[in-house]
Amino acid sequence: MKTVQVNIVTPDGPVYDSEVAMVIAKTVSGEIGVLPGHIPLVAPLDISAIKIKEADGSNNVVAVSGGFIEVRPEKISILAPAAEVAETIDIARAKAAKKRAEERLQSKSDDIDFKRAELALKRAINRINVHEGNI
């Protein structure tokens, strides 16, 4: 089976590095599937889950908070402001972040940045869904 090297990197360092059979990512303009030998591509990512099919047939999921995907025939690089493998997500922290964001959005205060609260809510929901396998 052909494979492609995948690296997922954040400002804090590498999160994922492996040879894989396929990557599915949600870009801002839609979902893409990338196989070994794919044509070169650069695209901005949405807050979403990166689905990875390992060379042995198993699956992995990584939650990303936006960023970019760069595809070359032999390598896929994902640069994200934050990324977490499903097993490492602190679910209690993610649920607390979701609750805080929902409270901010329901607040009638004029000093609330609603766009920022919406993005925080979207990131928290993404992390919860990836951890619980609801993708």
118 contact partners, CB below 8 Å, separation of at least 6: 101, 105
Length of the chain: 135
Beta bridge partners of 79: 9, 68
Query: Coil, strand or helix: which one is 76?
Result: strand
The gap from C-alpha 46 to its chain's centroid, in whole angstroms, comes to: 8
What's the CATH number for 4-86?
2.60.15.10
Q: Are 60 and 75 in contact (CB under 8 A)?
A: no
In this prediction, residue 108 carries a pLDDT of 72
The gap from C-alpha 87 to its chain's centroid, in whole angstroms, comes to: 14
Number of H helices, E strands in the chain: 2, 7
- Tens digit of each residue's pLDDT (9 = 90 or more) over 79-93: 999 999 999 999 999
> In CATH, which of 3.40.50.11030, 1.20.5.440, 2.120.10.70, 2.60.40.1930 is domain 90-132?
1.20.5.440
In this prediction, residue 113 carries a pLDDT of 82
Task: Give the Cα separation of 68 and 79 in Å (integer).
Answer: 5
Q: What does the domain layout of the chain look like in residue ranges?
A: 4-86, 90-132
pLDDT over 70 for what percent of the chain? 100
Amino acid at site 62: V
- Tens digit of each residue's pLDDT (9 = 90 or more) over 36-63: 999 999 999 999 999 999 989 899 999 9
Mean pLDDT for the chain? 94
Asked if residue 72 has pLDDT above 80, the reply is yes
Global confidence as pTM: 0.90
Buried b (16+ CB within 10 A) or exposed e, 67-89: bebebeeeebebbbebbbbbeeb
